[in-house]
Structure 1
Amino acid sequence: MGRGTRGQRTTTTVALLAAAVTAALAAGCTSGGGTGDDGRAPTQSKQGVSPSATGPSALVVKIDNAAAARPHTGVDAADVVYAEQVEGGLSRLMAVYATRLPESVGPVRSARESDLELLRQFDRPTLAFSGAQRKLLPLIDKAPLRAETPGSAADAYFRGSGRPAPHNLYLRPERIVPETPGEAALTTGFRYGSAPAGGTATDSETVRYPAARFTFTWSDSRDRWLVGMDGTPATTADGERMAAATVVVQYVKVRESAYRDFLGNNTPYTETVGSGKATVLRDGRAWDVNWEREKAADGTSFTTGDGAPVNFAEGQVWVVFAEAP
C-alpha cells in the first residue's frame, strides 16, 4: 500500500459481501425484553463457570454499532475495542474492560461464533451480550467463559429511553463484575512502550466494510487518533470525541460461517488465529508490521519486518479486523 507524503491513507476496501445492503437492515432486528436481537435467543449463565481462580477476569461486552445505536455509552472506558464485520457488511464492536469499569455500557447486542475464538486469549472472561442464535448457544455453553445476558442477570441490564429496541439495551457492569479486574486480566499479547523506529507520518486511516467504515484521524492537541464512523465523528453519550492511543488494522481471513441472520444474510467468521499483515498507528505515524497468534489461547504478537516487537502507546487500543487482500 503506497503512502507518499503526509496525508489521507485509505486501506483496501473489504469485499466480503456482494449484495447491496439497505439501511433497513440495521433496524430490521427483532426486539423484546427477554430475547436477543437478530432473531437470537438469550442464554443462561453456564453452571459451574466462575471468574478465574488466579484473579478477576476481563469483562467483554458486545456493542451495537448501527447508526441508530450511536452515540455509545462507556466505550471510552474500555482498554481494548475490537471492530468486526457482521451480517450485511455492517460493523459491531467488542469492548474489553480490565483497568476500569464504567457506570453503564451499551447498547449491548448479540454474540457471534468468531467471538469465541477471539475470547480464548483471556482466562475465563465474562462475556456480556444480548443473546445469540439458538444453534450457537451450545458452543457458548462449552466455551471457557462466563456468559451473562438479560436472561441470566436481569438486574444488570436496563432499557434506555430515547431510542427504539433493540438499540437501547444497556449493562451496569458492577452488577456482574463487582471488582475491577486489573491490568493482569489483559492477556492480549500487546506490548506497550517506546515507538519502534521508522514509520510514516500519517494524518488519517480509513477501513471500509461493504456497508460501514472507520476513519482514524490524528490529533496533535490530544495526542490521540480521533474515531470516525461512517463519515461522522464518533462521540460518547456525554458528547466527548472518542479517541484511541493506538489503532491496529489487522488483515485477517473473513469467511462464511454456518450461521445466517433472520433475513438470510450469512454471518461472517473472522479468523484471528494464524498470521498476517497489519498496520499499527501511533503518535501520528504508521508502521506496516506482521501479526501472529499461534493458538486460540495465545495473545497476538506484532513485529516489524526484522522480527522486533512493536510497542503500542499507553492508552486505549482499537483493533479493526479487515479482510486480507
Structure 2
Amino acid sequence: MRRAHLRYPRSLAAVLVASSLVLAGCGGGSDSSDDQTPAAQSVAGGDEIASDWPLTGLPVTGDESASQTHPVLVTKIDNTEASSPQAGLGEADLVVEELVEGGLTRLAAFFYSQLPERVGPVRSMRASDVGIVSPVDASVVTSGAAFKTIQIIKAAGITYYPEGSAGLSRDTTRSAPYNVFANLQTVAKTAETDAARPADYLPWGSDDDFPDGQAATKIAASFGGGHTTNWTYNGKTYTNDDSNAAPDDQFPADTVLVLRVQVGDAGYLDPAGNPVPETKLVGKGQAMIFHGGKLVRGTWSKSDLDSPISLSTKAGKLTVPAGHTWIELVPAANGNVTYTK
C-alpha cells in the first residue's frame, strides 16, 4: 500500500502506463464459476490494458482507459436526514454502507471512472474503513477523524484528504457539520500519479453466470440500532426508498449485496458519549445477493484487510453481475435482513 498518509497539493505530470491485472480470485422471508480475467483492449505500442472498470466490471467505452492516473477516491458521506440533499452519489461506481455510532450508518462512496465536482456532505473516517478501502489501495476523502482513528488509518498506510486539503470546502448555506463538500477533480490533481489499474473490488461476472434465485423485490436491511435501509426493485434497478440524495442524483444500484459481518468496539467514544463500533471486514460470513428481482444466498470470505472479497455457494464460486453495486455491511449479531416477493 502507499506509504504516504496525508497528501498536500503538488504539481504532477500525468503518465499513462498500460497494464493488465489478473483478478483475485443467499428462501424464507427473514435472515436472523471460475476466476475470470477482464477482456483487454489494444493500445499504442502493442500493449494491452484491461477493458473493464475495476469497481463495476462494466466495459470501458471509446478512448477511455480502465487505468486512470489517479487512485480510487473513497468519499465518506453522511447518511442522516441532515445530509439532504446528498451530492455525487449518481456518479459513484460503488457504495458501501457501514454502521457508525448511535445506530446510524455512513456511506463510503467509491469514485474512479467519474470524478464529480461536488460530493458530500463529507464526514469523518472510522477504523472500519481500513478493510473497506484497502483492497483497491484507495485514498479517503474525509472531513477528518478522531485521533485514535487517524492512528489506525496511518498505520494501515492509507492516504487521506481531510478538510483543509485542496478541493474540500464548506458550503455556507448549510449547517455544520453537514456542510463540507469535495470537488474530486481538484482532489485528484493533488494525488500521486498512479497509472496501475486497481484490482477488481468484487468477482465480476455476467447475468448469464448468475444462478437462479428466489423472487425478492423489496428488501429491508436493518443495522440493529434503529436504522433500516429499504430497497425496491423497479424492474431494472433497485431504488433506495430512504435515500437522502436528490431524485436525479441517486445511486443506480443494479445489485444490492448484503454481507453479514462481525462488529466490535473501536475503543473510544464519540463526542456524544456513544461507543464507536468497528466493522470487521475480514474472515467470512453469510452473503445475500439481490439482482434482477432475485435473491441468491452464499458465503463471503476475505482473508485479510487488504484482500478482495470472495463469494461462493455450495456449488462453487459466485460472481456478481457487472454493474453498480451497493454493499450493506449488516451486523451478524443484531442486524437483520427481510425481503418480500
TM-score (norm 2): 0.73
Of all paired residues, the percent bearing the same amino acid is 28
1:189–1:298 Cα contact (<8 Å) kept: no
Residue number in structure 1 paired with 2:62: none
User: By how many angstroms is 1:58 displaced?
Assistant: 0.7
User: By how many angstroms is 1:242 displaced?
Assistant: 3.9
How many Å separate the matches in 2 of 1:247 and 1:289?
Answer: 14
Q: CA 1:189–1:126 in structure 2 vs 1: closer, same or farther (change >3 Å)?
A: same
Q: CA 1:255–1:175 in structure 2 vs 1: closer, same or farther (change >3 Å)?
A: same
Q: CA 1:101–1:182 in structure 2 vs 1: closer, same or farther (change >3 Å)?
A: farther
User: By how many angstroms is 1:56 displaced?
Assistant: 3.2
How many Å separate the matches in 2 of 1:242 and 1:97?
Answer: 12
User: By how many angstroms is 1:239 displaced?
Assistant: 4.0
Residue number in structure 1 paired with 2:285: 276
Answering whether residue 173 of structure 2 is matched by residue 165 of structure 1, we say no
Cα deviations by residue, 1:272-302 (Å, 9 ceiling, x for unpaired): 1111111001111111111011122210011
Answering whether residue 323 of structure 2 is matched by residue 315 of structure 1, we say yes
How many Å separate the matches in 2 of 1:300 and 1:128?
Answer: 22
Q: Which amino acid aligns with 1:322?
A: V
Answering whether residue 190 of structure 2 is matched by residue 175 of structure 1, we say no
Residue number in structure 2 paired with 1:46: none
Q: 1:99 pairs with 106, 113, 122, which one?
A: 113
Count of residues in correspondence between the two structures: 270
**Matches of residues 93-242 of structure 1 in structure 2 within 5 Å?**
93-123=107-137, 125-151=138-164, 153=165, 155-178=166-189, 184-194=197-207, 195-209=209-223, 210-220=225-235, 223-229=236-242, 234=243, 236-237=245-246, 239-242=248-251
2:264–2:278 Cα contact (<8 Å) kept: yes
How many Å separate the matches in 2 of 1:238 and 1:10?
Answer: 29
**Matches of residues 35-54 of structure 1 in structure 2 within 5 Å?**
none
Give ranges in structure 2 of 5+ residues lacking alignment.
Answer: 1-25, 33-66, 334-341
Answering whether residue 94 of structure 2 is matched by residue 86 of structure 1, we say no
Q: 2:79 pairs with 56, 65, 69, which one?
A: 65
User: By how many angstroms is 1:158 displaced?
Assistant: 1.9
How many Å separate the matches in 1 of 2:109 and 2:162?
Answer: 15
Q: CA 1:238–1:183 in structure 2 vs 1: closer, same or farther (change >3 Å)?
A: farther
SS state at 1:243 partner: coil
Q: CA 1:56–1:163 in structure 2 vs 1: closer, same or farther (change >3 Å)?
A: closer
Q: Which amino acid aligns with 1:269?
A: E
1:68–1:163 Cα contact (<8 Å) kept: no
- RMSD (Å), alpha carbons: 2.4
Structure 1 segments of 4+ aligned residues over 6 angstroms from their partners? 179-183
TM-score (norm 1): 0.77
Cα deviations by residue, 1:183-205 (Å, 9 ceiling, x for unpaired): 93253133131242220111111
Query: Which stretch shifts more, 194-203 or 57-66?
Result: 194-203
Q: Which amino acid aligns with 2:331?
A: E
How many Å separate the matches in 2 of 1:239 and 1:189?
Answer: 26
How many Å separate the matches in 1 of 2:320 and 2:70?
Answer: 25
Q: Which amino acid aligns with 1:70?
A: S
Q: CA 1:315–1:162 in structure 2 vs 1: closer, same or farther (change >3 Å)?
A: farther
How many Å separate the matches in 2 of 1:256 and 1:142?
Answer: 18
Give ranges in structure 1 of 5+ residues lacking alignment.
Answer: 4-8, 13-52
How many Å separate the matches in 1 of 2:119 and 2:68?
Answer: 26
User: By how many angstroms is 1:208 displaced?
Assistant: 1.1
